[in-house]
Structure 1
Amino acid sequence: MKYSLLFLGLGAALLQACSGGDDSRQQAADTAATALIDTSVTKATEQLSRKFFYTIGELPSPLELLDLINRKDIAYNSSLLNPTERADSYKTGFQKAVNYGIYGVDMSYAAFYGQSQDALNYFSTTRQMAKKLGVEQPFEEFVKGVDQYQSEKDSLLSIMDRAYAGIQEYLKSNHRLEVAAHVLTGSVIESQYLSLSLLQDPSAPGQEQLYQRVVDQKKYVQNLIDLMSDMKEYPSSASLLNDLKGLLSAYEGINAVGDLTKEKLATLQQSVTTVRNNLVK
């Protein structure tokens, strides 16, 4: 089962929201000489768009690890979540995008554990961030019915899954692909941060599947690096790229569960915390 990434629904909506444009701008574009279009740039953009599709569509959701943690009866820890009070401090487009991804994971984590009030608080914050990003209307379309299910975990998760399923419908434009990629990065980093903060002992019996998912997170980091490498001309993406490369180095030598030790797990946790702190500050 693929678990929902509501924040990815926003990323998709961001792409669609930019595709329309206003009539005057479109008319001006239409009067320009079509021959001036740089086809090499167009091809590069299309390649980047396909890479983004692959990252979100072909790999398992990073939220699956959080769901597995819940199923193993590892205690819920709300102190790990990014406080909703910080939302007002995020002023730049980069801060809004990555923290929308972060808040989306926090909301899902609370929902997995049946912490409905926390989930709704974080839903309210993601709605606020969607408004700041100028995509409030498509966001509302994705999440119709959330307010009606304050105590029903399965219903909340079902609505999130519906948002994930709608991604293909909305990813029709790449004009704000960088923003969508930042949303995705925020979600992946927060998922890793929560998971590595909750897991302590890779030798614990009956938890091999959990730690295999930890190893699998290396793929996400590599895919994010590939995305950011194609967008490094943007200062925010270039800075994020450096942080991600530092995180990937912490995965060096970790290719299977047997490669994990408590020490290596602690190093991973410290590295992902550094990246996450740079995003939420």
Structure 2
Amino acid sequence: MFKKILLPTYILMLCSCGNSSIETTDTSQATESSDSVVASSSPQPDNEMADFKFHKLVLNIPSPFEIINLLPKTGMEFNKALVNSTDNSPKYLTSLKKGINYGVYGVDMIYLSTNGEYADMKKYFETTRKFAKDLEAGESFDKIIGSRMERNIESKDTMNKIMDDLYTEMDNFLKSNERLLTSTQITTGSWIESQYITLNLLKNVEKSKDNEIIYQKVFEARNELRELMSLLKEYEGDKEFNPLIQELKALGQLFDEVKSNDIDKALLSKISDKLNSVRSKAVN
């Protein structure tokens, strides 16, 4: 079983099996409706290199589920203010915004689940379901995970089992290049959100034996971002995507100052502040 997969990405990849790609440069079919996906007209990178870098990325960085699941176990108090409100979802009209925030909401759903916030989790489940529909994967989303999640949404153990089941299907989707751009956007959104939640919680507590593993995860995030930036370099020609990529590049310069898991408060605060700026660009 693959334990280093980006969960929100592969939920969508599972759901999109057999569906046609939405990453077309034909914008004539786009509408102003919030139910439509406005496709990017920017030139796309060489698929072979982007495909190689994407699969290298997912095999070398952990799922955001891993660090989010650790937070309550290390004494981090739940902070509802950190999740992206589902009230924002109607303003995400382009394929980029839908892809990025599918990743964001997927991490938020995990964060709510691991903290027992099941009532709110239902809203996030419905939002990710709608985004799957907008990304032409709604029917398969319901078929694969919809009813199982609805029946077991308040069972943490069962929810974890559902997610493990999704992991086992990875091989089927590593062979497909059809949804590479969307998968990259989702991966980017999920990484940003998992780090945003983690660092905003971590900066307000003192380092202890209980939470030192989270400091280690922040140290490891330095290399994760390097892997992500290697992939995103292939998309710098995308005029809509590029501003966020440049923000992440600046964030990477701060992460490069992290030399060990012994991160001082000043650097942690600098990284967190920049990450907040990156996340704001992603969700606004």
Give the counterpart of 1:58 among 48, 57, 60.
60
Matched, 1:215 2:219: yes
Specify the SS of the correspondent of 2:240: helix
In 1, the alpha carbon distance for the partners of 2:165 and 2:136 equals 21
Structure 1 position 262 matched with structure 2 position 235: no
TM-score, normalised by the number of residues in structure 2: 0.84
> Which of the numbers 92, 105, 108 marks the counterpart of 1:106?
108
The separation in 2 between residues aligned to 1:148 and 1:177, in whole angstroms, is 31
Partner of 1:177: 180
TM-score in terms of structure 1 length: 0.84
Q: Is the CA contact (8 Å cut-off) linking 2:69 and 2:114 kept in structure 1?
A: yes
The SS at the match of 1:230 is helix
Equivalent runs, 1:50-199 vs 2, <5 Å:
50-144=52-146, 145-199=148-202
Instruction: Say how many residue pairs are matched.
Output: 259
Deviation at 1:11, TM superposition (A): 4.2
Task: Report the 3-state secondary structure (helix = DSSP H, G, I; strand = E; otherwise coil) of the residue aligned with 1:104.
Answer: helix
Pick closer, same or farther for the CA change 1:254–1:277 going to 2, 3 Å.
same
- The Cα RMSD (Å) is 2.3
Q: Work out which of the residue numbers 207, 212, 221 in structure 2 matches 1:203.
A: 207
Q: Structure 1 stretches of 5 or more lacking a match?
A: 22-42
1:14, distance to aligned residue in structure 2 (A):
4.6
Q: 1:172 to 1:138 in 2, by over 3 A?
A: farther
**Partner AA of 2:48 in structure 1:** E
- Counterpart amino acid of residue 208 in structure 2: A
Contact 1:94–1:182 under 8 Å retained in 2: yes
Kept in 2, the 8 Å contact 1:87–1:125? The answer is yes
Q: Which deviates further from its counterpart, 234-243 or 82-91?
A: 234-243
In structure 1, the residue matched to 2:280 is 277
Check whether the contact 2:8–2:102 (CA below 8 A) recurs between aligned residues: no
- 1:240 has 2:237 as partner: no
SS of the residue corresponding to residue 52 of structure 1 reads helix
- Structure 1 contact 8–101 (Cα < 8 Å) conserved: no
Structure 2 gap segments, 5+ residues each = 24-44
Structure possessing the higher radius of gyration over alpha carbons: 1
Look up the equivalent residue of 1:220 and give its one-letter code. E
| 1:231–1:237 Cα contact (<8 Å) kept | yes
Deviations, residues 8-46 of structure 1 (Å, cap 9, x unaligned)? 32145457533699xxxxxxxxxxxxxxxxxxxxx9422
The question of whether the paired residues in 2 share the 8 Å contact of 1:105 and 1:190 is answered with: yes
